[in-house]
Amino acid sequence: MDHISHLEKMRQYFDSGITKPYAFRKEQLQKLKRSILSHEQDLYDALYADLKKSPEETWVTETGMVISELNAAIKDLKSWMEPERVATNLLNLPSGSKVLKEPLGVVLIIGPWNYPFQLLINPLIGAIAAGNCVVLKPSEFATATEMVMKKIIEAVFPPEYIFYVQGNGAVVVPAMMNNFSFDHVFYTGSTAVGKIIYKMAAERLVPVTLELGGKSPCVVEEDANINVAARRIAVTKFSNVGQMCVAPDYVLVHASKKEALLAALKKSIQQFFGDKPEESYSYGKIINEKQFNRVIGYLQQGTIEYGGRFDKSTLFIEPTILTDIQPGAAVMSDEIFGPILPVISFTTKEEAMQIIRQHPNPLAFYVFTSSGTRENDWLNSVAFGGGCVNNASWHLTNHHLPFGGRGFSGSGNYHGKYSFETFSHKKAVMKTPTWFDPAIKYPPFKGKLKLFKWVIR
Ligand code: NAD
């Protein structure tokens, strides 16, 4: 059967109403959790094969994140689904008002390869919790993880409910989106493909959530705790070999602390990965040759302060610090998405802001400072998706915070209750009693202006 007739079957399945009751949704979330946990070892093996992630890193950044999202959804689903009573304005009294949370229908979720499990399954949790049918399109580049996820999904869900579609995204996704009106598309990936998705969705007025990338700056102020800053920047930047959407893309350090920060960063990298990161249990690899070739191209675009070695046969690139970046270099215009950290000094905030403004709306922003005034000043100056003070990337692991970008780094957000809301329609309902029906509301209106001005103000 071709995809489109299958999607029509999914629409019928949704229209039957089977996915709507609380009991059904909760049961599916529990099934998903059981299926994931029964494939825990397969996921460790697959993520090692695709990205050389250790089981520990896999738990923290992939499986564990998903399990904690599932636990939160299972625990709180009932309260999320409750109709929300809201106040009613004077004009409409004695009516009552409420907001119902309604599933959207058949939704499409498209994932990238860098956190291939978490970034496909976390949105799925929100979509199931909200009562939708879901088409899941994993990235074709994390091949081992893609196969395990297929098993996890197909072991517990019929394809009319959750449909797992593999293949080349540039072929498979347009074939579906141009011939079927999804009720929502949730896309995580590059900004370039995000634009293609947005255009296709616009043709059919399909709402979208776009979780895109970009250059996320990290500012280190003169009053920062430099050792802590270096450790926290390095652990995030070199986790998954820099292939992280919220990795600090580049560091802007106050000139008075540049040397101290460079020394502390080198020390941290040494402590984390030793002299031979290629042999480190805790250091991964680049996903494929295409990405490898792109990333090593940046190594010549400045002075290598630390690292710089690479090995194509194992897709290894050493954690690298770059200074004295050449003017106009691609490493400062592209999203790096690899283990190369440009460190640039500034003396005034305006100087730093000029660099940040070249890449509007970063997905993440980090500032290291011990001053509350400086912290607020930075947070108010940069229009970013989400971020941290004196930390990097950990905001995304707190499901009580909405996760998403703005503008160039995306639109919409998810995690925890925000995922449920992303995949729900807020249906506004007003109920008006019939025992009170004053004539003032009906024509003729002549002479009623004064009263209307009193009621509507
Ligand atoms: P990508 O855009 O190449 O691919 C993402 C998905 O889109 C894949 O499933 C792919 O099959 C599909 N796709 C590719 N071409 C397509 C096309 N022409 N039409 C429709 N679908 C298509 O992204 P990627 O390389 O997998 O991921 C890296 C990028 O994603 C980086 O920019 C990174 O910052 C970003 N990212 C963002 C987040 C976030 O949460 N905001 C998370 C991870 C990655």
Domains identified in the chain and CATH numbers: 3-212+409-429 (3.40.605.10), 217-397 (3.40.309.10)
Set 211, 221, 318, 421: catalytic member: 211
The pLDDT value given to residue 3: 86
Pocket probe for ligand 1: among 62, 150, 173, 210, the residue whose CB has the most ligand atoms within 8 Å is: 173
Q: Which of 414, 429, 398, 424 is nearest to 80 (CA)?
A: 424
Q: Is the pTM of this model over 0.85?
A: yes
The pLDDT value given to residue 327: 87
User: Does the structure show a pLDDT above 80 at 1?
Assistant: no
- The alpha carbons of the chain give a radius of gyration, in whole angstroms, of 25
Strand partners, 364: 386
User: Where would I find the H helices in 39-183?
Assistant: 40-51, 55-58, 64-81, 118-129, 143-156, 169-177
User: Does the structure show a pLDDT above 80 at 454?
Assistant: yes
Residue 136: in which H helix or E strand, if any?
Answer: strand 133-137
Strand partners, 211: 188, 410
C-alpha 175 – ligand 1 centre gap (Å): 17
| Cβ(430)–Cβ(88) below 8 Å | yes
Q: Ligand 1 atom closest to Cα of 189? A: 30
Alpha carbon distance 177, 9 (integer Å): 16
Q: Tokens at residue 165, please?
A: 């579609």
Q: Ligand 1 atom closest to Cα of 404? A: 41
C-alpha 109 – ligand 1 centre gap (Å): 11
C-alpha 138 – ligand 1 centre gap (Å): 10
Residues 6+ apart with CB under 8 A from 149: 116, 117, 120, 121, 136, 138, 164
pLDDT (tens digit per residue) in 169-216: 999 999 999 999 999 999 999 999 999 999 999 999 999 999 999 899
Alpha carbon distance 378, 188 (integer Å): 27
Mean pLDDT over residues 273-297, rounded?
98
Average pLDDT, the chain: 97
Give yes or no: 211 in active site.
yes
Q: Which amino acid is at 86?
A: V
The pLDDT value given to residue 249: 98
Q: What is the band of 337 on the pLDDT scale with cuts at 50, 70, 90?
A: very high
Q: What is the band of 293 on the pLDDT scale with cuts at 50, 70, 90?
A: very high
Alpha carbon distance 132, 10 (integer Å): 10
Q: Which of 335, 330, 328 is nearest to 409 (CA)?
A: 335
Residues 6+ apart with CB under 8 A from 57: 239, 240, 282, 284
Mean pLDDT over residues 318-336, rounded?
96
C-alpha 320 – ligand 1 centre gap (Å): 25
Pocket probe for ligand 1: among 139, 171, 200, 384, the residue whose CB has the most ligand atoms within 8 Å is: 139
The pLDDT value given to residue 26: 98
Alpha carbon distance 123, 185 (integer Å): 11
The pLDDT value given to residue 141: 98
Name the residue at shortest CA distance from atom 18 of ligand 1.
Answer: 170
User: Does the structure show a pLDDT above 60 at 144?
Assistant: yes
Q: Which amino acid is at 142?
A: A
The pLDDT value given to residue 248: 98
C-alpha 385 – ligand 1 centre gap (Å): 18
Q: Could you tell me whether strands 303-306 and 320-323 are parallel, antiparallel, or unpaired per DSSP bridges?
A: antiparallel
Pocket probe for ligand 1: among 109, 114, 136, the residue whose CB has the most ligand atoms within 8 Å is: 114
| Cβ(289)–Cβ(315) below 8 Å | yes
Q: Characterize 419-439 residue by residue with b for buried, 16 or more Cβ atoms within 10 angstroms of its Cβ, and e for exposed.
A: bbbbbbbeeeeeeeeeeeeee
φ, ψ of residue 387 in degrees (nearest 5): -175, -165
Q: Tokens at residue 323, please?
A: 């200074």
pLDDT (tens digit per residue) in 401-415: 999 999 999 999 999
* Helix, strand, or coil (residue 19): coil
Q: Which amino acid is at 267?
A: K
The pLDDT value given to residue 2: 80
End-to-end CA distance of the chain: 59
Q: Is 267 exposed, middle or buried (0-12, 13-18, 19+ CB in 10 A)?
A: middle
C-alpha 278 – ligand 1 centre gap (Å): 27
C-alpha angle with apex 317: 311 to 321, nearest 5 degrees?
Answer: 140
Name the residue at shortest CA distance from atom 23 of ligand 1.
Answer: 189
Alpha carbon distance 377, 217 (integer Å): 15
The pLDDT value given to residue 351: 97
Name the residue at shortest CA distance from atom 13 of ligand 1.
Answer: 169
Q: Tokens at residue 291, please?
A: 């990405």
φ, ψ of residue 343 in degrees (nearest 5): -120, 120
Q: What is the band of 354 on the pLDDT scale with cuts at 50, 70, 90?
A: very high
Give yes or no: 57 in active site.
no
Set 245, 305, 388, 421: catalytic member: 245
Ligand 1 binding pocket, CB closer than 6 Å: 110-114, 119, 137, 139-140, 169-170, 173-174, 188-190, 193, 196-197, 211-213, 245, 335, 337, 363, 405, 410
Mean pLDDT over residues 287-303, rounded?
98
